[in-house]
Every structure is written in structure tokens, then in C-alpha cells.
Amino acid sequence: MNIGNVKINGIAALAPMAGVTDKAFREVCALCGAAYFTSEMISTKGLIYNSKKTFELMNRSKYDNPFAIQLFGNTPSDFSQAINIIAENGILPDIIDINMGCPATKIVKENSGSALMRNPDLCGEIVRASKSVSPVPVTVKIRSGWNSKTVNAVEVAKICELAGADAITIHGRTKEQGYSGKSDLEIIKQVKENIKIPVIGNGDIVDLASAKRLMEFTNCDMVTVGRASIGNPWIFSEINKGIIENQKWIAPSIKEKIEIIKMHIQKICTYKGQERGIKEVRKHMASYIKDIPNAAKYRKIVFQAESMEEIFTLCEKISDISI
Ligand SMILES: Cc1cc2nc3c(=O)[nH]c(=O)nc-3n(C[C@H](O)[C@H](O)[C@H](O)COP(=O)(O)O)c2cc1C
């Protein structure tokens, strides 16, 4: 499929996750077959105030193909200003994605993220302002609505399409649900039926079967996978092979998995430094090993580890245990 003039080579893409989908993780997901990558969410105000940390989040890898920068904010002019700043700094994403789905309190209390869905006209203005300056396609990520009484994803999607959006990603939960309950396939289907631009379905995909179910039920054009990719980046090959090539996916051997895990650890420590990186390494390692026998015992070792070498030693130890 295409988003505007950007070709996406596959069905399963990595969902943006703040604190998770950094450059190291995106590179690992690229090696494991993800079709498309989005940065962690980036504050329009952070860009306007020239925050070094915010700029770091836009660091693109050569494997990020195609690559979207996701922006959050609450004011149309902040979005257009932020997009201009991105361009002026020579940062070249393929797509700009607008966050209208984040449920986090610190984001919604500033009227950003999913709070925007309470004001559909403002959603349209933000897309229009972004499109007026963006040299690349502009997409929008929404939820089903603010709460169960105000499910308005179809209305917001239509308004964004009219304002020039090039695709919509929808996570089938309301802001009020957070991550509880189930993602509603019916609302994703309704959005797909009511707009012409591509629709990317999101929520609760954990394997090929759940990806197929979402695509078949909703007729959406593509899916993004978030939480299930943490500790299992191979899910992208599983889905892409299974749906596009209709081939049975053969899981990598433990040795192959360990190679990827070690590469991930190495990348985290290279990009963030060992001191800062080790905390993230522990978090990812805990996810990689969560289903192995005696996981609790190994998790303890992971959380006591102070260096990359200690984690590597553990990797060797568990390489003959099935992950
Ligand atoms: C830790 C975490 C961070 C997230 N950060 C973002 C974000 O920065 N931008 C965004 O649009 N969605 C964010 N999300 C939501 C995911 O992109 C996705 O919509 C949600 O997790 C549902 O998909 P899943 O069931 O495949 O995880 C985040 C989710 C998690 C769990």
C-alpha cells in the first residue's frame, strides 16, 4: 500500500511507543521484518523551545524505511511551526504522524493526544495547518473516542480526511479504557467504510491469527503492532510472511534469537551509553525471557546486572533453553 506517495512494503508495522520504540528497537524490528516505523511521540512545544532531548528522539536510522515522526500538541500553529523546524534542521522523515490517541494524564491535561478527539473541528484545523507546510504526507492516529458515550472515531476520521490527512491509524479503545478491555474491531471497520484514505488497524494483535482476524473483519489496509512486539520482534515476519506470502512461518532457532537479542543490547548501549542503556536493557531482557522455564530466576539476574557483559553471559547460559 501507499501512504500518499510513500510505498509501504508489507502489512505489519511497528506502532509508536514512547520509551520503547527508540532507534535501537526500531532497528531490531526492521531486521525482524517490520514494514514501517514511527518515532516515539515528540512534543511540538519541545521542538519550538529547542529541547535537546526532543531532537534526540527524531534520530533516524538507515533501517527506518519508511519513517514517520509522530508529533503531539494542542494548537494548529504549533504543529505547523514544529514541521517547519523539522524541515529547517534537515531532518527528513517520510511521513508526519499526528497523535490524537495518547491517554496519558500529563498529555491529556494539556489538551493533547486523545483529548483532541473531544474537539473534532480542532482535529481538522491541526491537520489542515500541518498539511499546509508539510513536505511529506500527514497521517493521524486516533482512538475510538474519549469514552463509551462519545465514540466519534468515524466523525474525526472524516474531518481529518477532508482536511487532507493521507491515512488514519485507529486503536479500537476509548481514552477512558486506556489499555483495559478489548480493542473494538467494529469501530475500525466503520472508519474503514467511511473514508477513502488508507486505514491502519491497531490494538491487541499478538500473532498472525489476531492480525488476520483484524484485517479480515475490518478490511483495513495495514496493521500496527505495539506491545506484542516487545520481547517478540519476530512477530513482524510472522505476520508479513503469513499474510502476504501465505507461507507458514518458521520461528528462528534459539541461537538466531539470541543473536538478535545480543544485537539489540549492543545497540541500546551504543546509542545511549552503558549507564543509561542498562536500565533499558533490563526491561527488554525481562520481556525476551518472560516465557522461558525458570523466568523468575533469570529475571532476578537481569535486574541485578550492571553491565552489558553480564547480560551477554546470561544470554549464553539460556541459549539452550527454548525462548
Ligand atoms: C508503553 C507504550 C507507549 C506508547 N506510546 C505511544 C506513542 O508515543 N504514540 C502513540 O501514538 N501511541 C503510543 N502507544 C499506543 C500504541 O501505539 C498502540 O496504539 C497500543 O499499544 C495498542 O496497540 P497494541 O495492542 O498492539 O499494543 C503506546 C503504548 C504503550 C504500551
Q: Does residue 17's CB lie within 6 angstroms of at least one atom of ligand 1?
A: yes
Ligand 1: centre distance to CA 226 (Å): 6
What number does CATH give the domain 254-318?
Answer: 1.10.1200
Per-residue model confidence (pLDDT) at position 159 = 98
Least confident of 86-100, 135-149, 236-250: 236-250
Pocket test for ligand 1, best of 11, 14, 17 (most atoms within 8 A of CB): 17
Per-residue model confidence (pLDDT) at position 50 = 95
pLDDT tier at 246 (50, 70, 90 boundaries)?
A: confident
Q: Tell me, yes or no, if 102 is annotated catalytic.
A: yes
Give residue-wise pLDDT tens across range 194-209. Answer: 999 999 999 999 999 9
What is the mean predicted confidence (pLDDT) over 4-32?
97
Ligand 1: centre distance to CA 106 (Å): 15
pLDDT tier at 230 (50, 70, 90 boundaries)?
A: very high
pLDDT at 179 over 60: yes
Ligand 1: centre distance to CA 316 (Å): 32
Give residue-wise pLDDT tens across range 253-287. Answer: 888 999 999 999 999 999 999 899 999 999 999 99
What is the mean predicted confidence (pLDDT) over 3-7?
97
pLDDT at 320 over 70: no
Pocket test for ligand 1, best of 26, 114, 227, 284 (most atoms within 8 A of CB): 227
Per-residue model confidence (pLDDT) at position 254 = 85
- Give the chain's mean pLDDT: 95
Q: Whose CA is nearest to atom 10 of ligand 1?
A: 16
Q: Does residue 19's CB lie within 6 angstroms of at least one atom of ligand 1?
A: yes
Percent residues over pLDDT 90 in the chain: 90
**Domain spans in the chain, listed from the N-terminal domain onward:** 2-244, 254-318
pLDDT at 316 over 70: yes
What is the mean predicted confidence (pLDDT) over 131-150?
98
Give residue-wise pLDDT tens across range 105-127. Answer: 999 999 999 999 999 999 999 99
Per-residue model confidence (pLDDT) at position 322 = 53
Query: pTM (2 decimals)?
Result: 0.96
Q: Which of 29, 32, 102, 220 is catalytic?
A: 102
Per-residue model confidence (pLDDT) at position 318 = 84
pLDDT tier at 321 (50, 70, 90 boundaries)?
A: low
Q: Does residue 257's CB lie within 6 angstroms of at least one atom of ligand 1?
A: no
Ligand 1: centre distance to CA 298 (Å): 27
SS (H, E, C) the chain: CEECCEECCCCEEECCCCCCCCHHHHHHHHHCCCCCEECCCEEHHHHHCCCHHHHHCCCCCCCCCCEEEEEECCCHHHHHHHHHHHHHCCCCCCEEEEEECCCCHHHHCCCCHHHHHHCHHHHHHHHHHHHHHCCCCEEEEEEEECCCCCECHHHHHHHHHHCCCCEEEEEEEECCCCCCCCCCHHHHHHHHHHCCCCEEEECCCCCHHHHHHHHHHHCCCEEEECHHHCCCCCHHHHHHHHHHCCCCCCCCCHHHHHHHHHHHHHHHHHHHCHHHHHHHHHHHHHHHCCCCCCHHHHHHHHHHCCCHHHHHHHHHHHCCCCC
Q: Which atom belonging to ligand 1 lies closest to the Cα atom of 224? A: 26
Q: Does residue 203's CB lie within 6 angstroms of at least one atom of ligand 1?
A: yes
What is the mean predicted confidence (pLDDT) over 79-84?
98
pLDDT tier at 248 (50, 70, 90 boundaries)?
A: confident
Q: Whose CA is nearest to atom 14 of ligand 1?
A: 17
pLDDT at 26 over 70: yes
Ligand 1: centre distance to CA 102 (Å): 8
Per-residue model confidence (pLDDT) at position 195 = 98
CATH class of 2-244: alpha beta
